[in-house]
Amino acid sequence: MKSNIKNIIMILLFFAIGLAGFIYNNASDITSLIIAVVLFALGFVLLIKGGDYFVDGATAVAEKFKVPELLIGATVVSIGTTLPEVMVSAQAAVKGNSGISYGNAIGSIICNVSLIAAITLIAKPAKVKKKPLYFPVAFFFVAAIFYAVNAYVFQNFSLITGIILLCMFVVYMIVNIKQALSPKKDEEPEEAAEEEEKKDIPIYLAIIMLVLGAAIIAFGATLLVDNGTIIASKLGVPDSVIALTVVALGTSLPELVTAITSLIKGHGALSLGNVIGANIFNLVLVSGLAITLKPFPLPEGNYLAGINSSLLVDVPLMFIVMMLLTLPPIIKGKLYRWQGITLIVIYVAFCVFQFALGMS
């Protein structure tokens, strides 16, 4: 009981610190490099602690309701870790910055797979159950094809497109909730070694950890992205490169923190489910909300051979990296280290390419 009270006090303390930092960050015109560095460091600490609470809460909920960790990762955890993308894209849409709204979703998907999932695969490749993967993977590619059609054919993201994407989000959640509520006769605990730890966490505390952990992660990501951008600007890094690296990577940090924390705690399925679920939400929730708030045409960008580089590189790469991540476990029921190595190489090449393109 005393340990539970101590945990609640610590969670509330980190939440209060994160909220105060978030309010100061958004209410102040930060011009001092020292203040930016301090807030950047605070954001990093909040991400680490928020990720710790969030994963503990998620796995405890999964154990309590006998829901597979892969499913929890693809729904509840993914919503929490996608909050920064939602905030960044919604704010950008309202301000009329369609480039961030458009690029944040695709960039985050590439980062989630080629960096975050890759780290998970390199560190701990493992067997996975095929069946829980079928629906989320198929749903992602349906949403991605719909998104790509709007980019390639119509070169416009209309209000109807935004509404359809949000409706797809609702459908995805309904199907997953129905799956979660259906009886699981043949499910076994995925990590027996962690069972005792899960049972020690009461359900009320698990929910507090889940909700406030997500909020702490969101506060930390915001501080990291905003102040990382300020630091990069003061060091003379071009805006286009800042958008690619700091913003796209920064809004994906919750997924990275969750993936690493999940690995440390022995919940690899939670990490994989989170990456797949987060990518779905980047398309149907993040993009859907941004487009609905303010529809926009395909943003102008850099060109290669007279073609928008996003259509030539970014969108195809989104499909390629997701196929590299999902096809082997669906076909073989196993994740491999070579997948992670290949994806990391792709991500490094993508960043170098974008940096060179932005500097040209």
What pLDDT, on the 0 to 100 scale, is given for residue 192? 42
Q: Select from 132, 165, 145 the least CA-distant residue to 281.
A: 165
Task: Round the CA-based radius of gyration of the chain to a whole number and report it.
Answer: 20
User: Per DSSP, what are the bridge partners of residue 303?
Assistant: 308
What pLDDT, on the 0 to 100 scale, is given for residue 82? 72
For the chain, how many residues are written?
360
- Give residue 180's identity as a one-letter amino acid code: A
- pLDDT digit string (tens) for the chain, length 360 residues: 677 888 889 999 999 999 999 999 988 888 888 998 899 889 878 877 887 787 788 778 777 777 666 677 666 677 766 766 776 677 677 767 777 677 777 888 898 899 888 988 888 787 778 888 899 999 999 999 999 999 999 999 999 999 999 999 999 988 887 876 676 554 444 444 444 344 468 888 888 998 898 888 778 877 877 787 788 778 776 554 565 566 666 666 666 776 776 766 666 666 677 788 889 988 999 899 989 988 988 877 677 777 877 889 889 999 999 999 999 989 988 889 999 999 999 999 988 887 777 666
Q: Find the DSSP H helices in the chain.
A: 2-27, 33-64, 69-72, 78-81, 83-94, 98-111, 118-123, 131-149, 159-181, 195-199, 203-234, 239-242, 248-251, 253-264, 268-281, 287-293, 309, 315-332, 337-359
Q: Is the pTM of this model over 0.75?
A: no
What pLDDT, on the 0 to 100 scale, is given for residue 59? 75
User: Residue 161 — φ and ψ, nearest 5°?
Assistant: -60, -45
DSSP codes of every residue in 300-322: P--EETTEEHIIIIIHHHHHHHH
Report how far residue 336's alpha carbon sits from residue 125's, in angstroms, rounded to the nearest whole number.
5
**Region at 266 (left for phi over 0; alpha for psi -120 to 50; beta for the rest):** left
Answer yes or no: CATH 1.20.1420.30 is held by domain 2-359: yes
User: Residue 264 — φ and ψ, nearest 5°?
Assistant: -60, -40
